[in-house]
């Protein structure tokens, strides 16, 4: 499933990031790559996702969240 | 006396408290400008400490030192080419992992470094027990603990910077982050070719860093190397190395390197950070559950916005009336002191009226900005961007564009400058182009006047609908632009959600002072020049045929006034008569002046909208500043319109002029859309870096304004006629 599908409060482990553009690097630099564990804080249908990684909170637009495969 | 001078650059993630530290270090002794050739803000300040003069350069907030954003390039260039004595990286202790990513990249540069470990109090509250000494030893960089908001650690930071510059500190040592044997091998290979074939380049930058950057496919390093003799041989080796890595790992080299950096960070943190069982509850988390709530979030946001604008207007009234009184006083003094003549006219009618009319809004602007800074510094703006993301998508943008749009309701100039926070140029330009549709505060006087005249019972609602119209059109144009000129998805929305923080009073004051200074500079600059020009166009030519001999009429009346035995009532009536005559003369002269002629020349274009040449001229003068529209109308319609309370005269005159309520609506819509003030246009030009976009903005807005006003006139007129009004 994708990051955009994860419910509030759940913890997801990144498996693969689909896109191959500049945003990919940006996401990587922010510390999101395969193996990273993210805790979903606020997932609004049709909206962006707020998650937390090791104490650091971030917002990710839906488009991007739909490209991150997690489990 | 300062015997020594140290230049230090401040780097760090946005939200790490870098600005607070900068303010603590330099206080009010700072200068704000732009980095040469780019629209990235540059801040510089000075501080004296123990006999040494420190120059502090605040680099833009960045997450990394790659070459993909202007902020990163500016920071990198400054460090590599200007050679500051020390770079101080401000790190957020409560967010170490991500902050250390930038720190690693700085370490790779092999420069003199000091880490300011900021917000150690928040880290402690989170229950993080961090062994900073051990961490410093692992990284080879001295760490000074700071709490920027409380001013803790600032002096120690300056001491440590001095120690490092003098080579007297024991912790500093250069370390290499190990990327694994395969990548290390490629790094060595590239280094070899680099040193052998392009020794000048190898001498310019730390070779290991250059090699790593080449593996990462860094465009700037590649470009610079390509211009060196034999540089292409190094580039070929870099390409070969990259391909090799890709074959080995099935992933690009830069991905591997990024992951390796985080691996290194992870290892360092494992050794130095322990989570204590006693952690204060994360207040931010709790607050966010309410503020970003699916149901409550948006209403709360709307409430805050409402509060913001109410405060701006209500609090701003007091200082505003003082300034108005001040301007009137100056005008009066000048009136008495200056000898009659052209210079006096220019100063009073041109400069004082023009600049004075705009300067009175300084308090409102400053308060609005303080309010917005408050929202930003507390961290709430990020939540607002999250909540508005979906709405922004309707315009073809994303949540981050919300902030400039909100600011646009105050003043478009700062709103457009705020668009710098958007990473993608496409998003920036689109946001800037749509921004003028957010009705700025300067247009309000026009709405108040017109709506108050023609819709006295529903003025408030009408004005609110005008604002909504602006938003609606922005959505429409946003969609159109997104499907045509700005095709392609809005870049994905990535934004850090900082923890909630209490902003410092000092920080707010500095913000306010900066904005006030910038505003006043604009007043003294562009506005002053154009006020004089518009005055000139309105005051000349002087020799025009008049319908009656005004001088003679006035003389007769003044004689009557000087007669003794005149009753109070009569003398008041005569004074009024004189005032009326002066107004009439002024209006006639204006009609015959250059600007009057221009107004009459464009009248055919605006007549289908129901506007006459007077409205046309008023609209033209709106170029300087929108408030000027009202004062021009006052002159042309022969009524005093200087006091807001005294609008009755102008309102009556407007009604008598034959203007209909439908035309009034069309007029307000036109003012809403047509063109922003010239300061805004100049800002659009500067921020987009192209005259073309500024021109495009002007063109599409004028055309759109005409179409909408025309539509209102025709449809409204039709309904009106149908209803038999």
User: Are B478 and B397 spatial neighbours (Cβ–Cβ below 8 Å)?
Assistant: yes
In a 3-state reduction of DSSP, which class is residue B437?
A: helix
Confidence band, pLDDT 50/70/90 cuts, at residue B522? low
- Dist CA B6 CA B86 (whole Å): 8
Quick one: pLDDT at residue B574?
79
Q: Which residue of A has its CA nearest to B384?
A: A59
Chosen from B494, B495, B498, B501 to mutate, greatest number of chain A CBs within 10 A = B494
Quick one: pLDDT at residue B527?
67
Confidence band, pLDDT 50/70/90 cuts, at residue B431? very high
Quick one: pLDDT at residue B2?
41
Q: Which residue has the higher pLDDT, B564 or B402?
A: B402
φ, ψ dihedrals at B86, nearest 5°: -140, 150
| Tens-digit pLDDT profile for residues B579-601 | 777 777 777 777 788 878 888 88
How large is the average pLDDT for residues B22-49? 76
User: Are B237 and B215 spatial neighbours (Cβ–Cβ below 8 Å)?
Assistant: no
Quick one: pLDDT at residue B649?
60
How large is the average pLDDT for residues B115-126? 89
Chosen from B290, B492, B495, B497 to mutate, greatest number of chain A CBs within 10 A = B492
* B47, B291, B474, B613, B715 from B603: Cα distances, Å: 59, 52, 28, 5, 21
Reply yes or no on whether the pLDDT at B650 is more than 70.
no
- Candidate from B81-95, B337-351, B450-464, B640-654 with smallest mean pLDDT: B640-654
Reply yes or no on whether the pLDDT at B399 is more than 90.
no
User: Are B214 and B221 spatial neighbours (Cβ–Cβ below 8 Å)?
Assistant: yes
Neighbouring residues of B277: CB distance < 8 A, sequence distance ≥ 6? B127
* Contact state of B492 with A64 under an 8 Å Cβ cutoff: yes
* Gap from B495 CA to chain A (nearest CA, Å): 5
Quick one: pLDDT at residue B534?
72
pTM listed for this prediction: 0.75
Reply yes or no on whether the pLDDT at B635 is more than 80.
no
Closest of B698, B712, B699 to residue B610, by C-alpha: B712
- Dist CA B338 CA B127 (whole Å): 70
* B10, B75, B516, B543, B633 from B22: Cα distances, Å: 8, 16, 20, 59, 48
Report the complex ipTM: 0.88
Alpha-carbon A23 to chain mean position? 12
Reply yes or no on whether the pLDDT at B604 is more than 60.
yes
C-alpha count within 13 angstroms, C-beta hemisphere, residue B53: 8
In a 3-state reduction of DSSP, which class is residue B627?
A: helix
Quick one: pLDDT at residue B244?
92
Chain A residues near residue B390 by CB distance under 8 angstroms: 44, 46-47
User: Are B425 and B327 spatial neighbours (Cβ–Cβ below 8 Å)?
Assistant: no
Indicate the fold that domain A3-70 takes in CATH: SH3 type barrels. (2.30.30)
* Contact state of A53 with B97 under an 8 Å Cβ cutoff: yes
| Cα dihedral B653, B658, B661, B665 in deg (nearest 10) | -80
Q: Which residue has the higher pLDDT, B645 or B150?
A: B150
Going from N- to C-terminal start, the domains of chain B cover: 4-166, 181-275, 323-483, 528-544+558-723
Tokens matching residue B358? 């705009």
* Contact state of B494 with A26 under an 8 Å Cβ cutoff: yes
- Candidate from A30-44, B381-395, B630-644 with smallest mean pLDDT: B630-644
Strands of B86-92's sheet, edge to edge?
A: B30-34, B41-49, B52-58, B4-12, B86-92, B113-118, B143-145
Strands (E), B463-559: 494-496
Chosen from B260, B274, B493 to mutate, greatest number of chain A CBs within 10 A = B493
Confidence band, pLDDT 50/70/90 cuts, at residue B281? low
Reply yes or no on whether the pLDDT at B646 is more than 50.
no
φ, ψ dihedrals at B123, nearest 5°: -60, -45
Mean model confidence pLDDT for chain B:
82
| Unique residue bearing structure tokens 């002046």 | B593
* Gap from B496 CA to chain A (nearest CA, Å): 4
Q: Which residue of A has its CA nearest to B393?
A: A47
Does B13 contact A at CB distance below 8 Å?
no
Nearest to A60 among B294, B385, B494 (CB): B494
Confidence band, pLDDT 50/70/90 cuts, at residue B494? confident
Q: Which residue has the higher pLDDT, B518 or B258?
A: B258
Which range, B137-146, B311-320, B451-460, B564-573, is most confident?
B137-146
| Tens-digit pLDDT profile for residues B158-205 | 999 999 998 888 888 888 888 888 899 999 999 999 888 888 888 888
Going from N- to C-terminal start, the domains of chain A cover: 3-70
Q: Which residue of B has its CA nearest to A8?
A: B289
- Helices B691-723, B678-688: inter-axial angle, 10-degree rounding: 140
Interface subset of B 344-383, CB within 8 angstroms of A? 382
Nearest to A54 among B97, B492, B499 (CB): B97
How large is the average pLDDT for residues B526-546? 75
* Contact state of A48 with B493 under an 8 Å Cβ cutoff: yes
Chain B residues near residue A22 by CB distance under 8 angstroms: 68
Q: Is B163 exposed, middle or buried (0-12, 13-18, 19+ CB in 10 A)?
A: middle
* Contact state of A60 with B292 under an 8 Å Cβ cutoff: no
Quick one: pLDDT at residue B160?
93
* Contact state of A61 with B494 under an 8 Å Cβ cutoff: yes
Size of interface A-B (CB pairs under 8 A): 99
How large is the average pLDDT for residues B326-334? 82
Indicate the fold that domain B4-166 takes in CATH: Rossmann fold (3.40.50)
Reply yes or no on whether the pLDDT at B645 is more than 60.
no
Alpha-carbon B509 to chain mean position? 17
Reply yes or no on domain B181-275 having CATH 1.10.287.1770: yes
Reply yes or no on whether the pLDDT at A32 is more than 90.
no
Phi-psi region of B8 (alpha: psi -120 to 50; beta: other; left: phi over 0): beta
Reply yes or no on whether the pLDDT at B639 is more than 60.
no
């Amino acid at each position: 499933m994708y990051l955009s599908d994860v419910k509030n409060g759940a913890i997801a482990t990144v498996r693969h990031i689909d896109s191959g553009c500049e945003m990919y690097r940006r996401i990587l630099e922010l510390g999101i790559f395969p193996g990273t564990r993210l805790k979903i804080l606020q997932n609004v249908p049709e909206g962006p996702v707020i998650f937390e990684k090791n104490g650091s909170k971030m917002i990710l637009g839906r488009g991007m969240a739909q490209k991150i495969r997690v489990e | 006396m300062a015997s020594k001078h140290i230049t230090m650059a401040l780097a760090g993630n946005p939200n790490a408290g870098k600005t607070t530290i900068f303010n603590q270090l330099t206080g009010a002794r700072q200068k704000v400008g732009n980095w040469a050739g780019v629209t990235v803000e540059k801040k510089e300040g000075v501080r004296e400490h123990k006999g040494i003069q420190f120059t502090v350069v605040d680099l833009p907030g960045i997450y990394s030192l790659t070459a993909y954003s202007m902020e990163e390039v500016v920071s990198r260039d400054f460090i590599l080419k200007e050679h500051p004595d020390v770079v101080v990286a401000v790190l957020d202790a409560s967010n170490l992992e991500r902050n250390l990513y930038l720190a690693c990249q700085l370490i790779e540069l092999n420069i003199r470094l000091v880490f300011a470990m900021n917000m150690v109090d928040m880290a402690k509250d989170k229950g993080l027990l961090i062994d900073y000494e051990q961490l410093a030893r692992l990284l080879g960089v001295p760490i000074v603990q700071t709490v920027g908001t409380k001013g803790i650690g600032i002096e120690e930071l300056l001491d440590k910077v001095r120690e490092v510059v003098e080579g007297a500190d024991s912790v500093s040592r250069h370390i290499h982050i190990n990327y694994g044997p395969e990548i290390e091998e490629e790094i060595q290979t590239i280094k070899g070719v680099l040193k052998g074939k392009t020794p000048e380049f190898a001498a310019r930058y730390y070779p290991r860093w250059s090699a790593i950057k080449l593996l990462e496919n860094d465009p700037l390093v590649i470009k610079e190397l390509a211009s060196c003799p034999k540089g292409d041989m190094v580039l070929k080796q870099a390409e070969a190395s990259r391909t090799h890595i890709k074959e080995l790992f099935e992933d690009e080299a830069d991905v591997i390197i990024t992951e390796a950096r985080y691996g290194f960070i992870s290892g360092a943190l494992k050794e130095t950070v322990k989570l204590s069982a006693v952690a204060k509850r994360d207040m931010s988390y709790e607050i966010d559950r309410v503020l970003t709530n699916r149901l409550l979030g948006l209403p709360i946001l709307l409430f805050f916005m409402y509060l913001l604008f109410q405060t701006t207007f209500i609090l701003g009234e007091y200082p505003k009336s003082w300034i108005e009184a001040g301007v009137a006083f100056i005008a009066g003094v000048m009136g008495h002191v200056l000898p009659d003549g052209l210079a006096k006219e220019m100063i009073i009618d041109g400069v004082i009226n023009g600049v004075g009319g705009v300067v009175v809004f300084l308090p409102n602007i400053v308060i609005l900005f303080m309010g917005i800074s408050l929202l930003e510094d507390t961290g709430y703006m990020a939540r607002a961007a999250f909540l508005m993301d979906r709405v922004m998508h309707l315009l073809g943008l994303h949540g981050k564009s919300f902030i400039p749009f909100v600011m646009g309701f105050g003043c478009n100039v700062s709103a457009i400058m705020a668009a710098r926070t958007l990473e993608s140029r496409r998003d920036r330009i689109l946001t800037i182009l749509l921004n003028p549709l957010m009705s700025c505060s300067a247009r309000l006087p026009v709405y108040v006047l017109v709506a108050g005249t023609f819709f006295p019972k529903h003025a408030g609602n009408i004005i609110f609908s005008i604002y909504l119209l602006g938003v609606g059109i922005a959505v429409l144009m946003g969609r159109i632009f997104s499907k045509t000129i700005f095709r392609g998805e809005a870049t994905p929305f990535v934004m850090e959600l900082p923890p909630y923080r209490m902003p410092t009073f000092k920080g707010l004051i500095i913000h306010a002072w900066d904005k006030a200074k910038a505003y006043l500079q604009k007043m003294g600059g562009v506005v002053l020049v154009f006020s004089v020009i518009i005055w000139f166009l309105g005051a000349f030519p002087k020799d025009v045929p008049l319908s009656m001999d005004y001088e003679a009429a006035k003389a007769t009346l003044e004689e009557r006034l000087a007669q003794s035995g005149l009753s109070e009532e009569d003398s008041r009536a005569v004074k009024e008569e004189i005032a009326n005559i002066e107004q009439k003369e002024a209006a006639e002269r204006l009609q015959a002046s250059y600007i009057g002629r221009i107004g009459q020349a464009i009248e055919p274009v605006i007549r289908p909208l129901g506007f006459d040449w007077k409205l046309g001229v008023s609209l033209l003068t709106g170029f300087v500043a929108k408030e000027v529209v009202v004062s021009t109308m006052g002159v042309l319609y022969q009524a005093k319109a200087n006091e807001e309370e005294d609008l009755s005269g102008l309102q009556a005159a407007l009604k008598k002029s034959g203007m209909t309520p439908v035309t009034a609506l069309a007029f307000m819509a036109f003012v809403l859309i047509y063109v922003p003030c010239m300061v805004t246009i100049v800002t659009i030009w500067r921020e987009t870096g192209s005259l073309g976009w500024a021109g495009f903005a002007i063109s599409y807005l004028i055309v759109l304004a005409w179409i909408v006003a025309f539509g209102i006139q025709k449809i409204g007129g039709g309904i009106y006629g149908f209803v038999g009004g």
